[in-house]
Amino acid sequence: AQSVTQPDIHITVSEGASLELRCNYSYGATPYLFWYVQSPGQGLQLLLKYFSGDTLVQGIKGFEAEFKRSQSSFNLRKPSVHWSDAAEYFCAVSIGLGTYKYIFGTGTRLKVLA
106: left (phi over 0), alpha (psi -120 to 50) or beta: alpha
- Phi then psi dihedrals of residue 86, to 5 deg: -60, 120
| Site for another protein contains 43 (CB under 8 A) | yes
- Decide: is 2 part of the binding site for another protein (CB under 8 A): no
> Coil, helix or strand for 114?
coil
53 or 114: CB nearest another protein: 53
Site string for another protein, 85-104 (x = CB under 8 A): -----x---x-xxx-xxx-x
Per CB under 8 A, which region of 15-23, 67-75, 78-86, 105-113 contacts another protein?
Answer: 105-113
